[in-house]
Chain A
Amino acid sequence: MNHTNKRRAVIIGGVRTPFLRAFGDFTPLSTIDLGVAAVKGLLTKFPIAWKEIDSMIWSGVVLPSATVNIGREILFDLGLPMEIEAYTITRVCTSSLCAITLAAAAIERGEADVMIAGGSDSTSNAEVTMPQSLVHKFAPVVLSPKSTVKDYFKLLTKLNPKKDLIPQRPAIRERLTGELMGESAEKMAVRNQIHRKAQDIYAMQSHQRAARAIETGRFASEITPVTLPNGKQVFADNIVRGNTSLEKLAKLKPAFAKNGTLTAGNSSTLTDGAGAVLLMEFEKAKSLGLSPLSQFRSWSYDAVDPTDQLLIGPAISMPKAVHKAGMTRKDIDLIDIHEAFAAQVLSVLKVLGSDQFARDRLGYNKAFDSIDPKDINIHGGSVALGHPFAATGARMVITMANELKLSGQSTALLGICGAGALSAAAVLEAV
């Protein structure tokens, strides 16, 4: 272990599964299965001796209640050495970025030399739970060894079919405000005067760019094929609509408010997928004969008020991350922002151009920049590719790290918003 010189955490590379619309071909795969596919693909692409792996940090948003530490289960299913420790985190949509930067921090601190970090989500397998009142009524009877058949019959008479037997439909709803995330985004669209047309234009841009990236094979080296239980192999993302048009998008009905502007077309959709990244200490990578691809110059994790523009956080995190890196806007070559909703991205861009915002919320003299929506997300984003919650951060890191190498540019700024009004940003640098 490099204890003498300053330790550097570098990204060797990453791999993701195809991102499929929920309730499609990935339905029989649990989040653990998807994670297994991603990590297996990672270790196929970077064949290191398994004994070199120190630990893993995995992440998920829809976590199965019976096995919350899915990272550890992924290791078991892959047959990796049991001595590799693994923990699982959740930081809503910023989860895998968070897992990856936690791994980088651990390597820098000397806790490990080789780590795997990533995230997976199977939205198709979100648990639908029975009301808790059912558990409260059943548990005393079921857990008592003295219960008789008569006790069970009595239990049935005490049940209220409406309150105890009807499961709750899962929804992406803020506990604090009771709002669906789409409703919050709808409010942001109104507050920032982001019109329907602007949202549809942006959504179309995302789809067209993602489609071109797929056609030109840009994602080929980043995606690992997944074999389904029935033997079929899945190779590609299936949500992208390269042939979409403004007319088609305009026909869609508002999804979150009467006379609203957000539709299924300009919002990200429920998706299944996973992504994994391999990180190492710089000297260790060299000793294993691997070339580093990228490293983190900085990151910033922040929170804003959920009752006042739930998803505006990236407008705080992105300038902060750049500032922490000792850089300015001019030093950033590529910008990649997670597209929860076109309206949310456009709101963030709008606010990033406000001097007042920079002064009052960040304490900087001038706005970050007036960014044209065309100048971000060069290969499309979550609106087109889908958003398996915990895998999105990994997807962005992998694509941007590769893009820096392919294009010869130096820096990329990533920004992600999340439920609970959390946000994250990171500055990646080519090595």
Chain B
Amino acid sequence: MNDYMIQLTKNPIITKLIKKIGLPNPPVELHRNNNPWEERPFNDQPVVIGQMSKTAITKTLAETIAKGGGNPFIENDDDILNIFSEVGHGYGRLPQMLVQGELPEKLTPKMLIFDASNIQKPEDLNQVYAFFKNHLRSLAICGRVVIVSRPPDTQKDISTAAASRALEGFIRAMAREIGFKGATANIVYVAPDSENRLEPVIRFLLSERSAYITGQPINVNNQVISDEPIPKMRPLDGKTALITGAAQGIGAAIARTMAREGAHVIIMDRPGEDIPAGKLASEINGNLLFCDITEPSAGNKIVEMIQKNNNGLDIVVHNAGITRDKLLINMKPDIWDQVLHVNFRAILNVNEKLLSIMRSNGRIVCLSSVSGIAGNRGQTNYSTSKAGVIGFISALAPKVSEKGIAVNAVAPGFIETQMTAQIPFATQLVARRLNNLNQGGTPDDVAETITFLCSPGAYGITGQVLRICGGALIGA
């Protein structure tokens, strides 16, 4: 970890000194879990649940928490308590009632959930305010906040749609306030008739695997047609995954994480990366494919190789990408073209061929970037390519949803890799701090998120860009 500030916080003398001098808090080392998916990711932690009243998703929330191994605390509502009791009864996770909204002494909830799925009008937002005003202070270090609501564009009533949309602003601002303790806040918009797709998404957001995602909206809908079983452990068992640019950095982390969860991984990279790629392949028992993705025959080569060795392809991660930063006025044509070719055109060309061998219930994930959303000085080529990728997944998603294939992009912020290590030192120092969590993310943060998106449980998410940026201050 290049982040010296987090190293500093491990020294108790220095942290005392920092406090005494009155310097701002150094970043908290995030609680991460890079072990195989487990049956109960919530680790017996207290979860406080708030709501306006019983909704269609109350039971789903109760089941998610009980199955996930959390201990529920309900705010004054007998109806809700009964539902959580009935569910908890079967799992030894009986709920406790909060009397007058008071938490038992010394209770620091690890998770705060608010079910706003039946919000009707702007006045209802006062209840959301009241719940969080009451409990946010006691949220644990690296805690989780999740609000669930309905997508504004599915609401016929104008004030309902407006109130629902307002919650996104609420979450974004809250995320900026709680980042100092490593805590995250996100909102899940679940479309009507998609409640049964909610559990795996909430499980992921509340777990330690979503450590670097904060201030983000996630949409869950039923566009993708699938009836695959949803395992809680080894979700990628039996799946074949192709990852481009997998020899090092984020690509290698994705390969390792997917292999850990049972996938058979095809590691693809340029012939020049043969040594790291070879090491990785033997480490995770994966296959190797050396190919320059800009070759016109790249797509055919990949298809040929996969058809020879496997029955088909389940997962494609378009991770290979380069930067060639230069101000536009100084950007020579070859630099412009290289980046557009590798990061954008090659993906479209290769993906077209891959679709023909992709099995149903497949997954396609592209690596975009915060730079593609917000732009970045010196990156007109990069930002163009990464925004193009966003357009690509948005357009492709509806076309393949019938086959059960979900297509998404992730937009990492500042991730500690070889690529970001090459940024001028002073810029790095500052760039790392420009987010809610006050630190850079790790390749594992990206890998865990992509692995989740490629799991059967993520079939409610398609055509979306999920930022893994620690709540970067730029863009939206």
Contact = CB atoms under 8 A, between A and B. Distances in A.
Interface in A193-216: 193
Interface in A357-373: 357-361
Given A308-B69, A356-B86, A356-B87, A351 B39 contact: no
A188 B39 CA distance: 18
A353 B92 CA distance: 12
Identify whether the interface residues of B are mostly helix, strand, loop, or mixed. Answer: loop
Interface size class of B (residues with CB under 8 A): 10 to 19
Contacts of A353: 89
A312 B92 contact: yes
A191 B92 contact: yes
A135 B359 CA distance: 58
B92 A351 contact: yes
Interface string B391-408: 000000000000000000
A241 interface: no
A350 B94 CA distance: 11
Interface string B70-102: 000000000000000011011111100000000
B89 A351 contact: yes
B69 A356 contact: no
B90 A355 contact: yes
Nearest to A360: B90
Contacts of A88: none
A17 interface: no
B90 A357 contact: yes
Given A305-B39, A308-B39, A192 B92 contact: yes
B270 interface: no
Contacts of B66: 356
Interface size on A, as a range, is 20 to 34
B40 interface: yes
Contacts of B39: 305, 308
Contacts of A2: none
Contacts of B67: 360
A354 B93 contact: no
Contacts of A298: none
Interface in A284-324: 305, 308-309, 312
Nearest to B88: A356
Interface in B88-141: 89-94
Nearest to A315: B90
A191 B90 contact: no
Nearest to A361: B90
Contacts of B89: 350-351, 353-354, 356-357
Contacts of B94: 191-193
Interface string A358-393: 111100000000000000000000000000000000
Most buried by A among B69, B87, B91, B94: B91
A347 interface: yes
B69 A191 contact: no
B86 A357 contact: no
Interface of A: 188, 191-193, 305, 308-309, 312, 347, 350-351, 353-361
3 closest A-B pairs by beta carbon, nearest first, are A356-B90, A357-B90, A191-B92
11 contacts: A192-B94, A308-B39, A308-B69, A350-B89, A351-B92, A354-B90, A355-B86, A358-B90, A359-B90, A360-B90, A360-B91
